[in-house]
Structure 1
Amino acid sequence: MDGCRLVALGPLFHKGWYHLFYQYNPYSAVWGNITWGHAVSKDLIHWLYLPFAMVPDHWYDFNGVWTGSATILPDGQIVMLYTGNTVDGVQVQCLAYPANLSDPLLLDWIKYPGNPVLVPPPGIGVEDFRDPTTAWLSPDRDRWRITIGSKVNQTGISIVYETVDFKSYELLDGVLHGVPGTGMWECVDFYPISMTEANWRDTSVNIRDIKHVLKASVKDLTSDYYALGTYNPFENKWTPDDQELDVGIGLRYDYGKYYASKTFFDQNKKRRILWGWIKETDNEADDIMKGWASVQSIPRTIVFDKKTGSNILQWPVTEVEDLRSEVVEFNSVKLGPGSIAPLEVDTASQLDIVALFDIDKDAVEETVEADVVYNCPTNGGAANRGKLGPFGIVVLADETLSEGTPIYFYAIKGASGEVETHFCADELRSSKAPEVDRVVYGSKVPVLNGEKYSLRSLVDHSIVESFAQGGRTVITSRIYPTKVINGASRVFLFNNATGVNVTASVKIWKMDSANIRHFPFDRL
């Protein structure tokens, strides 16, 4: 089954944001029940559910209407390419378009009578051909290009097609890119990013100050990897800036429970916005009992990190700040080695937390750790103590810390004198539920000279989205506390390092709930 959940997004017409997503019936083992739902919003936070947009009702999508992408053409027309899973289990690409462009909610969609418009080419497996991207213009700007994820043996690849009318296509020679050993690439995304401007350019832009991001959801690892590189449209090639940070082996959008993401260009505010799928960590029986599974992340903006020059920055869209209400501040909290400090915050299950940490520079200068190697997932979580870490916050905790999720930094300094920092989320004690995943997530994060250690965590009952150093490294935690419910949630600062003092300053907003409901069709 295709793992992708996000279909198409975009600010369409005057009604606001339009979001399509696919879903399935958890009570059925028949993937033919996969359909496209859709929703509309004016601010990316509050949503109205609309009726099903498309259902599997033809031979070419009998086993599911899968992931796709929308392209808005210069004349205002909208075309939607999506993957259909045929009655025989073959993955094909299909075309759809709105029945009525004057309908601001785009309630009805028409499937092209000539579907499918693309079938797996020679050498590509019938189950390895899915998830077309938003289209971009060719160098002569007279044709459109899309890329589709696939694999050859265990080499993950993205292949490129050209089209004039989105009904007939030409397969370009070679592949846009491929990385041996990474397996199937799905939910491929490909877009430009400006190295000089905060605002974004349209998907078709390719000029001197542009890098291109290539992202793939690597099926075997269920993780979203990206890399920065250079796109040569004349040779149909994308080349990574750093082969050691190539797609599938280097940087990830998110080091937690996050997959099958997709971006779109917001032409109104000139920004690129990223959505992702937050998977479950409990068991399938519980999902069936509650009647649903998985949620979408808070949408994030993406910009180039001009300070490092080697990664992107992700940050929650500014609209989420409209949910902020009361705020409390804790300034210059001193944390000696092995200390923990409670923060007095009522009803701490929905929070927006911003924290800055200073560590004793003299202690860092004097510290030498011989050949220390650290890895968030394998080094024991926040209980593992070193001279310069861990330190951070504990969220969704009870009074006695029998449940809690530490979000923390762990710095190490080897014989070379360089300080290497890791950003981690420890779920080992996040829940006492018997059948919930308990892991530690995280990775390295660049902390440049003169920078404080900074994090932001959006806490929402069972989800924590955490951003380190302005979004250089991001971790999404999906947890199921059993004691931290009905107002019992607490927040703590901690410093579990053995050889350094930490000073923390924290700002915490209580967050209101998003309004997500069905559209009142009696008012249409």
Structure 2
Amino acid sequence: MSEKLDRARAYEEEKRTQTPEGSKCVFHLTPAVGWINDPNGFSRYQGEYHLFYQYHPYSTVWGPMHWGHQKTRDFIKWEHLPCALAPDTGYDGQGCFSGSAVEHEGKHILMYTGVLDRMEDDGRHTLRQTQCIAVGDGINYEKLPENPVITAQALPEGSSKEDFRDPRIWKEGDTFYAVAGSLGVDGSGQIALFSSADAGKWRFESILDANGGRYGKMWECPDFFPLEDSQILIVSPQFMHAEGLEFHNGNNAIYFVGSYDREKKKFLRKEARSVDYGLDFYAPQTVETADGRRVMTGWLQSWDNYLTPEEFPWSGIMSIPRELELRDDRLIQNPVRELERYRQNEVSHKGVTLSEKAGKTELEGVRGRVLDMTVEADVSRSDALTLHLAAGEGFETTLTYEKGKGTLTTDRTYSGLKKDLLCTRSMYVDAKEGKLKLRLLMDKYTLEVFVNDGEQAMSSVIFTPPEAEGIAFSCKGESSLDLVMYEIMV
């Protein structure tokens, strides 16, 4: 084990014991200490699910990337494990960037991007991103002496040597495959496909798909997997321009439904859609469960809106793991069913009448910041319906449906922010025959909304003081709703 990895492990162990009890999320993965971003290595290994992540233990802002590590049996209760990778070799000395993992013959194989970024003696700047392998037992991992196992020399001529990252490894039969993002000769994103018999020696197979300048620039964090009778490609484009309410400016997470031509090794895709329409969601990655479900998690933070309060010893939250299905060529996302085991203290209200004249309506027993709440509303006679969440002492975050626009909007303007950051985002929703169904998960600092049984997801973080637990409802016109709420206790 290297000195850098030893230091990181000792530091996180010391600091995590100093984190105040109850200061982090209850059922969402958060770090022991420091900064986290992209989920990495989401995989099944020896009957448990492991999740690694981009990690800088020494501060709550991005720094030289390590791989943090946790595991779970049910996607809800997470167990902290020691830091898995540190930037400690010549080829990854400036960062162990994003990647993935697969189980093989009792070993856990991690595939990641090593970053070399240095000034040479003659004044030249050298920047290279290469793909590397580490093999371990679920706790300790050894980097292959053959690393890096893939360099940009394997890519088509004219491809970038500086932007080549985020490998996604899987195994079919006796063959390993991996896709990775890079920039092509036209300066826009492409997804390269590689194969290997042993995960050590790799060969280039094809450009699986290419951006063509259509969706942003670099395509980060690709994930490529079968779902029902289709093939799914998820990518996280950089530098996108907003398009209506489907895509926003900057870093997005988008998906394509399509088919995979295995002979030509090409992905044939249909139109692109957003994975999540909220203010904070990026770099999702999936795993196949033992019972055949496809489960996804993403990073609940925006690169361009850093909200973490200064006094926090940690920064970064992973989304609730979500089960994926397909319906009419759309990804359907719902929280993993295991969450239902942790529901307690059910509160139910039926036939609640709301009116503009009555103003805000509070319901007995409906309050809290760690909850799972489903609201089914009749909005046929209202111009707008608003849910007031995390409310109290001048604080609130609102979720508003406007019938005339057909939109659902998250607004965290009054969530307690002290900086002029982006606070609102909207998406088009379908109020089916005047009915709207919303499932809300809140976990102290998170708000995840699933519309109409998972047709759309909208995720945002809010750093409102935890004692602001009020929940109320208001409308323009008249509305009625049924509600059921549970506390989540882990």
Task: Give the TM-score range, shorter chain.
Answer: 0.7 to 0.9
Task: Tell me how far 1:175 sits from its aligned partner.
Answer: 3.7
Give the structure 2 partner of residue 411 of structure 1. Answer: 403
| Contact residue 283 and residue 436 of structure 1 kept, 8 A | no
Q: 1:25 to 1:40 in 2, by over 3 A?
A: closer
For 1:71, the equivalent position in structure 2 comes to 102
Report the Cα distance in structure 2 between the residues aligned to 1:96 and 1:235, rounded to whole angstroms: 30
Provide, for residues 270-323 of structure 1, a one-character-per-residue CA deviation record: whole Å limited to 9, x for no partner: 111111111279986965642321111111111112xxx031111111222233
Query: TM-score, normalising length from structure 2?
Result: 0.81
Q: Report the Cα distance in structure 2 between the residues aligned to 1:28 and 1:509, rounded to whole angstroms.
A: 32
Does residue 1:342 correspond to 2:362, yes or no? yes
Q: For residues 320-331 of structure 1, what are the structure 2 equivalents within 5 Å?
A: 320-331=339-350
> Residue deviations 1:342-371, cap 9 Å, x none?
1233651222110001134xx5xxxxxxxx
Which residue identity lines up with residue 507 of structure 1 in the other structure? V
- Asked if the contact 2:181–2:220 (Cα under 8 Å) also holds between the matched residues in 1, the reply is yes
The answer to whether 1:508 aligns with 2:485 is: yes
User: How many residue pairs were aligned?
Assistant: 431
Asked if the contact 1:422–1:442 (Cα under 8 Å) also holds between the matched residues in 2, the reply is yes
Determine the C-alpha separation between the residues in 2 that align with 1:342 and 1:481: 19
Superposed, 1:200-239 pairs within 5 Å as 210-220=229-239, 221-239=250-268
- Kindly tell me: are residues 341 and 491 of structure 1, through their superposed partners in 2, closer, same or farther at Cα, counting changes over 3 Å? same
> What's the counterpart of residue 83 of structure 1?
113
Which residue pairs with 1:6 in the alignment? 39
Once the two structures are superposed, what CA deviation does each residue of 1:119-171 show, in whole Å capped at 9, x if it has no partner? 1133222321000112243xxx5533211112234522211112222222221
Matched, 1:469 2:452: yes
Q: Within 1, Cα distance between the matches of 2:233 and 2:420?
A: 33
**Is the CA contact 2:281–2:298 (under 8 Å) kept in the aligned structure 1?**
yes
SS state at 2:314 partner: coil
Q: Partner residue of 1:124?
A: 159
Determine if contact 1:430/1:438 at 8 Å carries over to the other structure. Answer: no
* Contact 1:189/1:262 (8 A) holds in 2: yes
1:375 aligned partner: none
Equivalent AA in structure 2 for residue 508 of structure 1: M
**Equivalent pair of 1:281/1:437 in contact (CA under 8 Å):** no
C-alpha separation between the residues in 2 aligned to 1:425 and 1:507? 21
Of 45, 54, 63, the residue aligned with 2:76 is 45
Match of 2:415 in 1: 430
TM-score where L is the length of structure 1: 0.76
Per the alignment, residue 211 of structure 2 pairs with: 178
Deviation (angstroms), 1:252: 2.7
Residue of structure 1 in register with 2:86 after alignment: 55
- Give deviations 1:89-116, integer Å, cap 9, x for gaps: 3110001111x4xxxxx21111110000
Q: For 1:355, which of 375, 382, 387 is the aligned residue?
A: 375
Q: Does 1:394 align with 2:388?
A: yes
Partner of 2:296: 274
CA contact (8 A) 2:44 2:287 kept: no
> Which whole-Å deviations, capped at 9, do the CAs of 1:470-498 have from their partners, x for residues lacking one?
1111111211225xx43x421112213x5
**Any idea what SS the aligned residue of 1:332 has?**
strand
State the match for 1:314 in structure 2. 333
Task: For 1:263 and 1:407, locate their aligned partners in 2 and report how far apart those are by CA, in whole Å.
Answer: 28
Matching of residue 155 in structure 1 with residue 188 in structure 2? yes
Which residue number corresponds to residue 94 of structure 1? 132
Which residue in the other structure is 1:332 paired with?
351
- Once the two structures are superposed, what CA deviation does each residue of 1:221-254 show, in whole Å capped at 9, x if it has no partner? 222111211211212221223xxx32xxx33334
In 1, Cα distance between equivalents of 2:158 and 2:57? 33
Query: 2:369 is matched by which residue type in structure 1?
Result: S
Distance 1:280 1:290 in 2: 17
Letter matched to residue 413 of structure 2: L
Q: 1:35·1:55 contact (CA, 8 Å) conserved in 2?
A: yes
The answer on 1:440 being equivalent to 2:424 is: yes
Could you tell me how far apart the structure 2 residues matched to 1:511 and 1:434 are?
A: 29
Q: Which runs of 5+ in 1 are unaligned?
A: 101-105, 195-209, 364-387, 413-419, 515-524
User: Match of 1:291?
Assistant: 313
* 1:24 correspondence with 2:56: yes
Q: Answer yes or no: is the 8 Å Cα contact 2:308–2:463 preserved in 1.
A: no
- Looking at structure 1, the residues matched to 303 and 163 of structure 2 have their Cα atoms a distance apart, in angstroms, of 26
Taking a change above 3 Å as real, the CA distance of residues 288 and 494 of structure 1, as seen in their structure-2 partners, is closer
Deviation at 1:76, TM superposition (A): 4.3
- Residue 111 (1) aligns with residue 143 (2): yes
Partner of 1:417: none
Query: Which one of the candidate residues 245, 258, 276 is aligned to 1:253?
Result: 276
Which letter maps to 1:190? Answer: F
Q: Secondary structure at the match of 1:238?
A: strand
Number of the residue aligned with 2:285 = 262
Give unpaired runs (5+ residues) of structure 2.
1-35, 119-126, 240-249
Whichever residue aligns with residue 22 of structure 1, its letter is: Q
Tell me by how many angstroms 1:29 deviates: 8.1
More displaced, 276-285 or 389-398? Answer: 276-285
Q: Secondary structure at the match of 2:362?
A: strand
**Amino acid of the structure 1 residue aligned with 2:301:** K
Cα 1:108–1:232 shift into 2, 3 Å: same
Structure 1 residues 68 and 285: CA distance shift in structure 2, 3 A: closer
Q: What's the CA shift for 1:57?
A: 1.2
Structure 2 distance, partners of 1:281, 1:408, is 25
Q: Secondary structure at the match of 1:133?
A: strand
Kindly indicate whether the alpha-carbon contact (under 8 Å) linking 1:131 and 1:148 is maintained by their aligned counterparts in 2: yes
2:233 and 2:255 in contact (8 A); partners too: yes
- Cα gap change, 1:350 to 1:436, in 2 (>3 Å): farther
Distance 2:263 2:232 in 1: 18
Choose between structure 1 and 2: higher strand proportion. 2
The alpha carbon displacement at 1:258 in A equals: 0.8
Q: In the alignment, is the contact (CA less than 8 A) between 2:43 and 2:102 conserved in 1? A: no
Query: What is residue 470 of structure 2 aligned with on the other side?
Result: 490
Aligned to 1:380: none
The answer as to whether partners of 1:356 and 1:505 remain within 8 angstroms in 2 is yes
Question: Are the equivalent residues in 2 in contact too, given 1:177–1:239 (CA < 8 A)?
Answer: no
For 2:227 and 2:306, the matched residues in 1 are separated by: 39
